[in-house]
C-alpha cells in the first residue's frame, strides 16, 4: 500500500470536490431518487465524477463504492465515497454539507477524510496516526456525564413511516442532556464528536458512505463506535452510536428499549 500516494490523492479529491460544492451552493436543482425524501442534485453528480476521475488517475484498478453510481471494480483496495453528505441542506442553500472519502484495504478502514468547504474545515485521519482538523490534532471531549452532554442525531429516510419510533428516542435523550442537535450531515456529526463539539451521536440506517471516513476520524480521535447493544459498529450496521467513550454506557442505557428494531 502506497500510503503517501493514497493520502495525497485523498486530499486532492476532497479539495477538488469541495470547490465544486462551494461554488454550486444556491443552485436549487434537486430531483428525487428512490423516495420522495431522497434528493440528488447536479452537484452530487459533478462532485462524484471529479472524485472518481482524480482517484482513478492514480489507482485505476481499485474498487469504488459511491453513492450516486453503481459499485465498480473488484479489488481489496476500495474507496468509499459520499460526494455530498448533506444534500437536503445543500438543495435548500443551507450551508452545511461536506465531501466524505474513505480508503479501505482488505476490509480495514485505513484513511478517512471529510471536507466542509463552507467552513474550510478539513478532517483527516490515518489508522494509527491520530486525527487532525486543518493540521491540528483533535480529540473527543472530556465530558464524562450524559446530563452535561450535547448530542446530535439524524432522521433516516423512512422517517415518515417510523416517525413515532424515532421521536421517542429523541424524547428519551432530551430528558437527560443539555441539548440534541440535527445538522443534516452524518459525516460532519461524527467529525464533530471527534473534535469535541458534540459528546455523542446516534442515527439508524446510515449507508457505508455516510460514515466510513468519519469512523476512522472518530476512532483516531479517541472516540467509541458501536451499535445500540454495545457491539463494535460495522459499515453495514443499522444502529449507529458514536461518543467520546465516556458517556457511551449512559447512552446505551437510554437506547436499551430501542435495540430490538
Q: State the virtual CA torsion across 19, 21, 25, 27 in degrees, nearest 10.
A: 110
Residue 245 binds ligand IPD, judged by CB under 6 A: no
Taking the least distance from each CB to ligand IPD, the nearer of 32 and 147 is 32
Residue 67 binds Ca ion, judged by CB under 5 A: yes
Binder of residue 86, out of ligand IPD, Ca ion, none (CB less than 5 to 8 A by kind): ligand IPD
At residue 15, φ and ψ (nearest 5 deg) are -65, -45
Residue 95 binds ligand IPD, judged by CB under 6 A: no
Site for ligand IPD in 143-182 (CB under 6 A): 154-156
Site for ligand IPD in 2-61 (CB under 6 A): none
* Cβ at position 84, least distance to Ca ion in Å: 5
* Cβ at position 85, least distance to ligand IPD in Å: 5
d(CA 139, CA 21): 27
* Cβ at position 20, least distance to Ca ion in Å: 13
Taking the least distance from each CB to Ca ion, the nearer of 21 and 84 is 84
Are the C-beta atoms of 112 and 215 separated by less than 8 Å?
A: yes
Task: Report helix, strand or coil for 66.
Answer: strand
Task: Report helix, strand or coil for 9.
Answer: helix
Measure Cα distances from 65 to 13, 51, 134, 211, 212 in Å: 15, 12, 26, 13, 11
At residue 243, φ and ψ (nearest 5 deg) are -160, 180
Q: x-or-dash pattern for Ca ion, window 189-228, by CB under 5 A? A: ---------------------x------------------
* Cβ at position 67, least distance to Ca ion in Å: 5
User: Which residue is it, cell 453528505?
Assistant: 85
N-to-C CA span, the chain: 39
Chain residues binding ligand IPD by CB under 6 A are: 82, 84-88, 154-156, 184-186, 203, 206, 210
Amino acid at each position: 500500500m502506497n500510503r503517501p500516494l493514497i493520502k495525497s490523492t485523498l486530499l486532492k479529491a476532497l479539495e477538488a470536490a469541495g470547490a465544486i460544492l462551494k461554488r454550486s451552493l444556491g443552485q436549487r436543482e434537486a430531483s428525487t431518487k428512490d423516495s420522495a425524501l431522497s434528493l440528488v442534485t447536479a452537484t452530487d453528480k459533478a462532485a462524484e465524477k471529479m472524485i472518481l476521475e482524480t482517484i482513478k488517475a492514480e489507482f485505476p484498478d481499485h474498487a469504488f463504492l459511491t453513492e450516486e453510481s453503481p459499485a465498480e471494480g473488484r479489488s481489496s483496495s476500495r474507496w468509499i465515497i459520499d460526494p455530498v453528505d448533506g444534500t437536503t441542506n445543500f438543495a435548500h442553500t443551507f450551508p452545511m454539507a461536506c465531501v466524505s472519502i474513505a480508503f479501505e484495504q482488505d476490509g480495514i478502514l485505513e484513511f478517512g477524510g471529510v471536507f466542509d468547504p463552507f467552513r474550510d474545515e478539513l478532517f483527516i485521519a490515518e489508522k494509527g496516526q491520530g486525527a487532525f482538523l486543518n493540521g491540528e490534532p483533535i480529540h473527543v471531549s472530556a465530558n464524562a456525564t450524559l446530563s452535561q452532554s450535547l448530542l446530535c442525531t439524524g432522521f433516516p429516510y423512512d422517517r415518515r413511516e417510523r416517525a413515532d419510533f424515532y421521536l421517542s428516542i429523541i424524547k428519551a435523550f432530551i430528558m437527560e442532556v443539555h441539548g440534541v442537535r440535527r445538522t443534516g450531515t452524518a459525516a460532519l456529526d461524527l467529525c464533530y464528536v471527534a473534535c469535541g463539539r458534540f459528546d455523542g451521536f446516534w442515527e439508524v440506517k446510515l449507508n457505508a458512505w455516510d460514515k466510513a471516513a468519519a469512523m476512522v476520524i472518530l476512532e483516531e480521535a479517541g472516540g467509541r463506535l458501536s451499535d445500540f447493544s454495545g457491539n463494535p459498529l460495522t459499515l453495514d450496521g443499522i444502529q449507529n452510536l458514536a461518543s467520546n467513550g465516556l458517556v457511551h454506557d449512559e447512552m446505551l442505557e437510554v437506547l436499551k428499549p430501542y435495540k430490538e428494531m
